[in-house]
Amino acid sequence: MQIDRLFQIVYILLDKKRVTAKELSEIFEVSKRTIYRDIEKLSMAGIPIYANKGNGGGISLLNNFVMNKSVLSNEEQNNLLIGLEILKATEYENVDGAILKLKNLFNKNIDNWIEVDFSNWGSSKAEKTKFEMLKFALTNCRSIKFNYYNFSGDKTNRIVNPIKLIFKHKAWYLQAFCLLKNDFRTFKVYRIKDLIVTEGTFDRNCYNSVETNFSYQHTSNVINLKIILSSQVKHRVYDEFDEKDITRNKDGSFSINIMVAEDEWLYNYIISFGQYINIIEPKYIRGIIKNKLELTLKKYK
């Protein structure tokens, strides 16, 4: 289509700065006369495009031309590119081409100015495959089947209609309608195992008119945990806790005050700090940790 060719010509000029009519005619498989007519149309539309004939000549745009400068502010342009980088981090296909085009349109020629990656260091191929399957199921309204492990490690087999993927507090979650519970549920993606995309389909519109509650339900008690971490583990403090929950003590240690679900994950997390943690409240947690460590030591006697 001619309109698409006109846009493509502008993209090429923004990227390569200068091309000949012969090069463009070969790219689009049209005559040079057609290319010159396209250049005339672009010029009439207000695009500052011009052609120089002879050796060293060619077709080019005025320097520093930004196609939609009048449409988006510099901040809005940056926000749009950041949004695409975040989309790219979800392993979404064909984003690189859109990012490159917009960088050229916005005259953002700094390479690698931002990179977004939500995966853990050393993230497995299986996790990336899981996101590809979830993306396919979401975009094609396909039901999915998987094993799910809750906070306590209990396994249930679920069949759900996926509604949305969200990223919240350093983790990915799937919002879905669970056919087992006949209600809306939120699942932590990392705890989804043995994922299968079924042949079953669903109508997403039937959920749009229903008032949904996607709150993430903890099956465990939520407690107010107060701990002190020594300076030897300061590299973990600001990575793993919100700044509002941290108090720096005069001796270099850190007091942490947080609301957290009490479960096996919490006990193991506390143990991961080894000798560098002091549990202040609740005091009974000390006994639980002590008992777990004693049981562990017995195995190695």
CATH for 156: 2.30.30
Q: How large is the greatest C-alpha to C-alpha distance in the chain, in angstroms? A: 89
Q: Does residue 83 lie in a domain region?
A: no
- The pLDDT of residue 41 is 77
The Cα 290–Cα 258 span in angstroms is 21
Q: Domain containing 54 — which CATH number? A: 1.10.10.10
Sorting pLDDT into bands at 50, 70 and 90, what band is 200?
very high
Domain that holds residue 57: 2-61
Which residue, 208, 236, 266, sits at the end of a domain?
208
What was the pLDDT predicted at 106? 61
Do 138 and 200 share a structural domain?
yes
What b-and-e string marks burial along 248-265, b requiring 16 or more CB atoms within 10 Å of the CB? eeeeebbebeeebebbee
Higher-confidence residue of 243 and 194: namely 194
Q: Is residue 214 part of a domain?
A: no
228 and 294 in a single domain? The answer is yes
18 pLDDT above the threshold of 60: yes
Contact (Cβ atoms closer than 8 angstroms) between residue 144 and residue 185: no
190 with 228, same domain: the answer is no
Task: Provide the pLDDT confidence category of residue 113 given band limits of 50, 70 and 90.
Answer: very low
Residue 269 lies in a domain: yes
Q: Are residues 136 and 200 in the same domain?
A: yes
User: Is there a domain that residue 267 lies in?
Assistant: yes
Count of beta carbons in the 10 Å neighbourhood of residue 247? 11
* Dist. CA 102–CA 100, nearest whole Å: 6
Where in the chain does DSSP place strands (E)? 18-19, 49-52, 58-61, 142-149, 155-168, 171-178, 183-188, 192-201, 222-229, 246-248, 254-261, 277-281
Tokens (6 digits) for 126: 């299986």
Mean per-residue pLDDT, 291-298? 88
What's residue 210's pLDDT? 56
pLDDT for the residue numbered 300 = 80
In a domain, 120, yes or no: no
Within a domain: residue 117? no
Per-residue pLDDT reduced to its tens digit, 38-80: 888 777 766 778 777 767 678 887 766 655 444 456 666 665 5
Q: For 207-218, what is the mean pLDDT?
A: 57
Lowest mean pLDDT among 147-156, 174-183, 281-290: 147-156
pLDDT at 102: 63
**Above 90 in pLDDT, residue 261?**
no
**Stronger pLDDT, 88 or 139, i.e. the higher one:** 139
Q: Are 51 and 21 in contact (CB under 8 A)?
A: yes
Please indicate, yes or no, whether residues 193 and 243 belong to a single structural domain of this protein: no
Q: Is residue 73 part of a domain?
A: no
CATH code for position 274: 3.30.70
pLDDT at 112 over 50: no
For residues 231 and 161, state if they share a domain: no
Alpha-carbon distance values, 205 to 1, 163, 208, 210 (Å): 34, 10, 5, 9
Domain count, the chain: 3
**Shared domain check, 57 and 9:** yes
Q: Strand, coil or helix: what is 212? A: coil
d(CA 12, CA 30) in angstroms, rounded, equals: 16
Radius of gyration of the chain (CA): 28
Would the pLDDT of 121 be above 50?
A: no
- Given a contact cutoff of 8 angstroms between Cβ atoms, the answer to whether 8 and 28 are in contact is yes
pLDDT at 160 over 80: yes
Q: Is residue 103 part of a domain?
A: no
End-to-end CA distance of the chain: 78
Task: Point out the domain boundary residue: 173, 208, 243.
Answer: 208
- Decide: 147 and 194 in contact? Cβ < 8 Å: yes
